[in-house]
Amino acid sequence: MRIDENRKQKIVSFLGDFRAWRIAGVFSLLFSAALLFGARLDSVENVDVRDFRLWAALPVLTLLFAVLTRFLWLCLDLLREKAGRGSSNKITCVLERVDRFALPGTFFFLLLCWLPVFLAVYPGFFVYDAQDEYVQVATRMFSTHHPLVHVLLLGGIICGVHKLTDSYNLGIACYMIFQMILAAGGFTFLLSYLCRKKVSPVLRLVSLFYLGLFPTVVMFTLCSAKDALFTLALLLLLISLLEMGTRAEDFYASAGWQILFVLSGAAMMLFRNNGFYAFLVMIPILLFLQRKRWRRFLVLAVCAVAGCLLINGGLKAALHAQSGEYQELLTVPIQQLARTYKYAPEAFSPEDEEILHEVLSEEALRLYTPRLSDPVKYRFDNETFAGDKARYAGLWLRVGMKKPLIYLNAWWMTSYGFWYPDMVINVYGGNTVFTFTYRDNSYFGYEVELPGVRESKIPWLDEVYRKLSLEVWKEKIPVVSWLFSPGAMFWLYAFLFAGSLNNKRYEILYPYLPVFLLWLTVLLGPTYLPRYVLFFWYALPLFLAMEGDAILSERIRC
């Protein structure tokens, strides 16, 4: 009877909980706008905000998704209630007993899962600026275009092994093995943390197989790009933030947790510049949230930032690394000017056109592509821009005031893949690289750049990953495609966040802070690729456990 009464109360609250409706409404409004805007960008590469149909459809979709969101929350609440009653489950009992002995083998299990793929794609995916980073070490000519810590790590291992064995492939393979070991260690720490928190053994088992076998996780674990190490550092930071939010007293009483926060924060900033910006923005927010212990938190944050700056500054001075490139920061403005020049050249007065050509030649502007800024930005004249920044900032502002909608569409076209769920990643379509030409898909850069050469030991498995990387079929399968979509993954995280906010579980919201801040930074990047938001896949078990533990975990005494 009590159960029936509780269900009736929940149904009544479903209709009358205005706070929940407000949260669901905001989430649904943003999600509906993403669907409507994204569909237009995907089909015609332009959103006409004067289109009445767009605004007529928005409230209808918002209402539908708000009702659906509230219904899903109600279902989750009922599942939590059922799980909380502690009903017997023999399978869960067995998993808990096995887990006590299996956990130490997690590290080796993950390595064994990745080993066949490593042999299939041997020496690994040496791609995404890999050649450039290696050349810097080989020629002793360094720049700050890529994180110096990763340049030295990647290039140093390859050059060192090559000197000993005269084999570049073996050097690349050694780096991949090194990264695999770090990834297995990071994931093992995550799963052991979930074990200590009494998260459902079922959820942990699913997470183990997911981290060992899901293609996106495996691809980047075996990829030389800095994204994997950056995301592993972020994952450790997220765990420490969760501990800070849920058990603040124990966090500040533990030297281990505080050291983990400092080291993971510094490492995250060292491996990606946007990690540095996100961490800086995160500091004042956490100072407010930790206002009772703000002095202690400030010391930790300053130590992390200072460590990053000292290491970066020391390496730059020791290596005489060249800096002064602005195009990475100016990706969006460059695209906005190029798009305006292509579609509305009348917006440029003769004087403004002359100023534009000082930093972007006619040839560079003709290379404009809506989804990728690289063709134009790589031809941006950094030296001229540095000579009079205000002059070119004024140009950008004047043109933007004349054509604000073109500016908006230029930005959306390089970022909508991060927030539109039904997305096919094909930003490099038609581009020829070392061993192939991108055609209908560029989800992952399946490549071994020189001086490496692909020497597959398991050709059929190599072919599987080639198709996963370069063919569009996986993004055409309903539901399955969402697992590979950066936009869909973002909305999954947003849904989990809204649900926790609705349930007033504020203590578990801390890890969302760097995730959403980093997501905001990639919106200002050159294009949309899974590698830039790899944290959506690496951290998924942690966030599902934060919300799903109350759903799947059954408090059983075996």
- The H or E element containing residue 88 is none
User: What pLDDT score was predicted for residue 84?
Assistant: 52
Confidence of residue 326 (pLDDT cuts 50, 70, 90): confident
Confidence of residue 75 (pLDDT cuts 50, 70, 90): confident
User: What pLDDT score was predicted for residue 549?
Assistant: 57
User: Using CA atoms, how far apart are residues 293 and 261, in angstroms rounded to an integer?
Assistant: 15
Tally of CB atoms within 10 A around 461: 15
Q: Does 110 have pLDDT greater than 70? A: yes
User: Using CA atoms, how far apart are residues 50 and 48, in angstroms rounded to an integer?
Assistant: 5
Structure tokens at 219: 């691809």
User: What pLDDT score was predicted for residue 101?
Assistant: 54
Tens of pLDDT, residue by residue over 159-204, are 999 999 999 999 999 999 999 999 999 999 999 999 888 888 888 8
Q: What is the mean pLDDT of the chain?
A: 90
Q: Tell me which amino acid residue 470 is.
A: L
Q: Does 557 have pLDDT greater than 50? A: no
User: What pLDDT score was predicted for residue 548?
Assistant: 64
In angstroms, the Cα distances linking 524 to 216, 234, 375, 402, 405 are 23, 20, 16, 22, 17
Percentage of the chain modeled with pLDDT above 70: 91
In angstroms, the Cα distances linking 301 to 242, 269, 274, 283 are 16, 12, 16, 7
Q: What average pLDDT does range 256-272 have in this prediction?
A: 97
Tens of pLDDT, residue by residue over 407-436, are 999 999 999 999 999 989 999 988 888 888
User: Using CA atoms, how far apart are residues 467 and 436, in angstroms rounded to an integer?
Assistant: 13
User: Using CA atoms, how far apart are residues 265 and 252, in angstroms rounded to an integer?
Assistant: 16
Structure tokens at 90: 């023999």
The residues, ordered by sequence, that sit 6+ positions from 20 with a Cβ below 8 Å of its Cβ are 13, 70, 73, 502
User: Using CA atoms, how far apart are residues 316 and 526, in angstroms rounded to an integer?
Assistant: 25
Query: Which residue blocks in 103-198 are alpha helix, DSSP H?
Result: 106-120, 130-139, 148-165, 168-196
pTM: 0.93
Residue 128 bridge partners (DSSP): none
Region of poorest pLDDT, from 303-312, 502-511, 517-526: 502-511
User: What pLDDT score was predicted for residue 551?
Assistant: 37
Residue with tokens 């059954």: 554
Q: Does 10 have pLDDT greater than 90? A: no
Region of poorest pLDDT, from 47-51, 177-181, 303-307: 47-51
Confidence of residue 346 (pLDDT cuts 50, 70, 90): very high
Q: Does 14 have pLDDT greater than 80? A: no
Region of poorest pLDDT, from 58-62, 177-181, 195-199, 335-339: 195-199
Q: Does 88 have pLDDT greater than 70? A: no
In angstroms, the Cα distances linking 525 to 297, 371, 506 are 30, 11, 30
- Residues 217 and 537: beta-carbon distance below 8 Å: yes
Q: Does 555 have pLDDT greater than 70? A: no
User: Using CA atoms, how far apart are residues 554 and 199, in angstroms rounded to an integer?
Assistant: 9
Task: Please state at what angle helix 52-84 crosses helix 486-502, rounded to 10 degrees.
Answer: 60
Structure tokens at 371: 């989804």
User: Using CA atoms, how far apart are residues 557 and 404, in angstroms rounded to an integer?
Assistant: 62
Q: What average pLDDT does range 369-378 have in this prediction?
A: 93
Confidence of residue 6 (pLDDT cuts 50, 70, 90): low
User: What pLDDT score was predicted for residue 558?
Assistant: 34
Confidence of residue 76 (pLDDT cuts 50, 70, 90): confident
Long-range contacts of 248-252 (CB under 8 A, 24+ apart): 248/290, 248/293, 252/293, 252/296
Q: Tell me which amino acid residue 56 is.
A: A
Region of poorest pLDDT, from 53-62, 434-443, 534-543: 434-443
Tens of pLDDT, residue by residue over 513-551, are 999 999 999 999 999 999 999 999 999 999 999 876 543
